[in-house]
Amino acid sequence: MWAYFKMEFIQFMSNKKNIAIYVILLFFSCYYGLVLAPAYDPIEKVDVSEIEARYLTNEEFLNNVVINDWTHPLTKFAASIYPEWNEYEKERLDAIKQDNLKNYAEATFKWYTYSDNIIFNWGGEILFYNPGYYTYGNDYARMDGHYAYLYSASRYTGYTEGESDLSVNVFEERTALQTLQRLLHSYLPLILIVSCMLFTVDVVLKDRRNTTLLQGLPLSDWRKLLVKGGVSLLGSLLAIIPLTVGLFIICIQMDSVMLNYLFRFIWLAKRYFQI
Amino acid sequence: MWKVLKTFFILEKSNKKNMFACMIVAAFVFGLIFFVKTEDLGNSLKEKSGEYQSLSVALNKFQNVDATDNGNGSDLYKNLVVQQQLIAKQRMAVKVDRPEWFLDTALEVVNLRASAFAMDGFDKVASNLPTKTENQLESVFYEHIKKTEVPLSLDSLSFFPFLAYLFGVLGFLWFIFMSIYSCGIMVEDFRHTSLIKGYPITFDKYVIAKCISSMLLVVVFLLELFVCSLPLIYFKGLGDPTYPIAIFNGTFDIYPIYKYIGLALLYMICISIFTILLSVILNVLLKNMYLTLFLELLLFVFPMLFPSMMNFLPFNPFNYMNFSSVLNGQTLDLANPVFLNSIHGLMYIGLSIILMIATVKLFLTTGKLKRV
């Protein structure tokens, strides 16, 4: 059975169609790593000018507003919510300007929680999420924004509590692992399934060419199919290798956590095994 | 020669690959119709909303200050605020169906954008605004409409506007389709070399006959594109074949739809001949259809991956294989802009076709077939 497995595997790997699929996947992943991944434009960015603009606008309002009996209720409302909001905004701004990412993550977590609380519960028709969510025909932009703010808030708590190295790329979900996670939510599973289908499409039919030869093998049909299944599974799993190349390209560009781990691993290996 | 052609026709007629390719072309056209329908392309309300939204994102990066002429905001801020107002006005013009308002405001927006490129801090908002080339194309388009007083037609699913869109999309795909279609053009015959060696003609004539029969099928594909779009005449009407399209061919220019389609067809036929000949040569040299396909696609993506090579090798025909991007002037927006002229592109492709025919005649004729 082992010999049959080896034979099938060699046939699988030397099949020109399969090589073509591997090469196409390699192409695709390189293209993704070089062109598409750097062009990723998230809505929740680390944008100093945006934070600063919001901070200055609100600060000026707070400095000039006069509250008395004749003030409009909305003005009063604004004057009551902006002080805390701006406090977080200021923390964020100072932290990012001093490049203190831990503090930035902490302030941003507070900012997202507070913003979402205010906008979702009290915002109504006056306060809005980031304009990026309000696309044409999207009736649920509010819910999209709500979800994204809570998601970001939970992300940033993770950054404050976790031990990992922080960078702006981590905040914007651009690192290799985060890209992989994002792709797994979208079309990567589809690509894997389709390539698996293309890999295995002729795994049984190719035997028709040499039936007499193969019928002489001392193996039951059931075992043959089992072995073929195993080979196809292994071959499809190997498709991950060309896809990893793309990830590696993203790693190098985005000074990723993964590369860091890799270097740490190599360093440890060197230390322990005295290579 | 005629007899060989007849043999080839009989072979091609029974070839399942051709049936399959025809079906793919038809499926592509119908798929594109549904895509245009579901994505609601050409809906100016949607387009303007998108522009409005990206302007809001851009304005988020500025402090809210007085944006009137005497206000203390920066020039760019004032510019963006006015742009947003004008876009809102355009949306209203679409809603109440006043094309003349739409046109006037469109011209104003285009001029505002043109002046914004030179302002301080433009890099900050560059990703939210159209590029210089896009803006220039728009400007040329609206000025032409203003001058000739053509009514702004908005239904992108009527026959001619759809064809223009279809050929625009095919500009990206045609080379890939052709290289997949023709990558095995000689390999299949090499399986029965003894048969081919028995043909009473020379190798170059054999290649030319093969190319002619493949080209006839390409003509069938091209006709199929038109035939599959015909139902749109019934559902959405013919559309205006003289409706202008802004393109770049050395200068920013206006082509009517029929001229654009004609140019696209010319390009597609040239690209088809080019690809078939390239496949023939690579097939003879490499004797493997997958390697042929791989090499062709590599040559195709090479100028896209390394755009600086386009300046270095302006006569490389592969710069022009993606002819929609040439006509869109997309290469002008690169870090170091490349001026690709569509007419020169046709000349370069034509020259390479002649070169390849000469190669087949001079190098592949002499005894290569015997070594197959």
Tens digits of residue pLDDT in A231-250? 999 999 999 899 888 888 88
User: In this predicted model, what pLDDT tens digit does every residue of B83-93 receive, in sequence order?
Assistant: 999 999 999 99
| Shared domain check, B220 and B172 | yes
Q: Which residue range(s) make up the domain with B121?
A: 44-148
Cβ–Cβ below 8 Å for B288 and A16: yes
Return the pLDDT at B192.
Answer: 75
Counting residues of chain A whose pLDDT is more than 90, the rounded percentage is 26
**Residue-level pLDDT at B370:** 47
Q: Find the DSSP H helices in chain B.
A: 2-13, 16-39, 44-59, 75-95, 99-116, 122-125, 132-148, 159-182, 187-190, 193-197, 203-229, 231-236, 257-286, 289-305, 308-312, 323-328, 342-359, 368-371
In what helix (H) or strand (E) does residue B238 lie, and over which residues does it extend?
none
B121 and B197, same domain (yes or no): no
**Over chain B, what is the mean pLDDT?**
86
Q: How many domains does chain B have?
A: 2
Asked if residue A25 lies in contact with residue A247, where contact means CB atoms within 8 angstroms, the answer is: no
User: What's the mean pLDDT in B146-159?
Assistant: 82
| Phi, psi (degrees; rounded to nearest 5) at B251 | -125, 165
Quick one: pLDDT band at residue B271, thresholds 50, 70, 90? very high
Which residue in B45, B56, B297 is closest to A131 by CB distance?
B56
Separation of CA B351 from chain center: 21
B366: left (phi over 0), alpha (psi -120 to 50) or beta: beta
pLDDT digits (tens, 9 = 90+) for B49-107: 999 999 998 888 888 888 787 878 888 899 999 999 999 999 999 899 888 889 999 99
Q: Which residue has the tokens 């392309």?
A: B41
Closest alpha carbon to A241 in A21, A2, A38:
A21
3-class secondary-structure state, position B244: strand
Query: pLDDT band at A193, cuts 50/70/90?
Result: very high
pLDDT band at B191 (very low <50, low <70, confident <90, very high): confident
Residues B88 and B126 in one domain: yes
Mean of the pLDDT values across residues B245-260?
89
Q: Is the pLDDT of residue B198 over 80?
A: no
Return the top range by mean pLDDT from A168-172, A211-215, B187-191, B261-265: B261-265
Phi then psi for residue B255, to 5 deg, are: -115, 140
pLDDT beyond 60 at A213: yes
Q: pLDDT tens across A95-120, in order?
A: 988 888 888 999 999 999 999 999 99
Q: Which two tokens stand for residue A38?
A: 């750097």
Q: Please state whether B74 falls in left (phi above 0), alpha (psi between -120 and 50) or beta.
A: beta
Q: Which of B50, B61, B297 sits opposite A50 (nearest CB)?
A: B61
Query: Chain B: residue nearest A31 by CA?
Result: B305
Question: Does the pLDDT value for residue B257 go beyond 50?
Answer: yes
Does residue B332 sit in the same domain as residue B304?
A: yes
pLDDT tens for A114-163 read 999 999 988 878 888 988 888 888 889 899 999 999 999 988 888 888 77
Give the closest of B57, B62, B64 to A131, CB-based. B57
Q: Does B45 touch chain A (CB under 8 A)?
A: yes
| Neighbour tally for B48: CB within 10 Å | 24
Q: Residue B294 is nearest to which of A23, A49, A135, comparing CB atoms?
A: A23
> Are B63 and B201 in the same domain?
no
- Which of B148, B172, B192 lies at the terminal end of a domain, its last residue? B148
pLDDT confidence of A259, banded at 50, 70, 90?
low
Q: Which residue has the higher pLDDT, B21 or B333?
A: B21
> What is the per-residue burial (b if ≥16 Cβ within 10 Å, else e) of A27-66?
bbbbbbbeeebeeeeeebebeeebbbbbbbbbbeeeeeee
Higher pLDDT, residue A35 or B350: B350
Residues in Cβ contact with A193 at an 8 Å cutoff, skipping those fewer than 6 apart: none
Chain A: residue nearest B91 by CA?
Answer: A136
Pick from A19, A12, A18, A24: which is nearest to A243 by CA? A24
pLDDT of A214 over the 70 cut: yes
Distance from CA of A263 to the nearest CA of B (A): 29
CA neighbor of B162 nearest in space, from B45, B220, B252, B240: B240
Within this chain, do residues B234 and B130 fall inside the same structural domain, yes or no? no
Using the beta-carbon criterion (under 8 Å), do B60 and A34 form an inter-chain contact? no
Chain A touched by B294 (CB under 8 Å): yes
For residue B365, the model assigns a pLDDT of 63
Residue B371 has pLDDT above 50, yes or no: no
For residue A264, is pLDDT > 70? no
B123 and B218, same domain (yes or no): no
Report the mean per-residue pLDDT for chain A: 86
Residue of B nearest to A19 (CA): B290
In this prediction the ipTM stands at 0.74
Same domain, B120 and B201: no
Q: Which residue has the higher pLDDT, B338 or A71?
A: A71
Considering the domain architecture, whether residues B32 and B108 belong to the same structural domain is answered as: no
Which residues in chain A are closer than 8 Å to B71, comparing Cβ atoms?
A: none
Looking at beta carbons, which residues of chain A come within 8 Å of B50? 135-136
Core vs surface per residue A142-161: b (16+ CB within 10 A) or e? bebbbebbeebbebbbebbe
Rounded Cα–Cα distance for residues A60 and A8 (Å): 74
**What are the distances in angstroms from CA B362 to CA B352, B355, B359, B368?**
15, 10, 5, 11
Same domain, B351 and B318: yes
Last residue of a domain, one of B92, B127, B148: B148
Q: Token pair 């051709």 is at which residue? A: B18
Same domain? For B168 and B124 the reply is no
Residues B165 and B136 in one domain: no
Question: Is the overall model pTM greater than 0.95, yes or no?
Answer: no
Check whether A256 has a pLDDT greater than 60.
Answer: no
CA of residue A2 relative to chain centroid, distance: 40
Of the listed ranges A72-81, A259-268, B36-45, B224-233, the one predicted with least confidence: A259-268
Residue A13: which H helix or E strand, with range? helix A2-14
- pLDDT higher than 60, residue A58: yes
Q: Which of B148, B164, B181 is the last residue of a domain?
A: B148
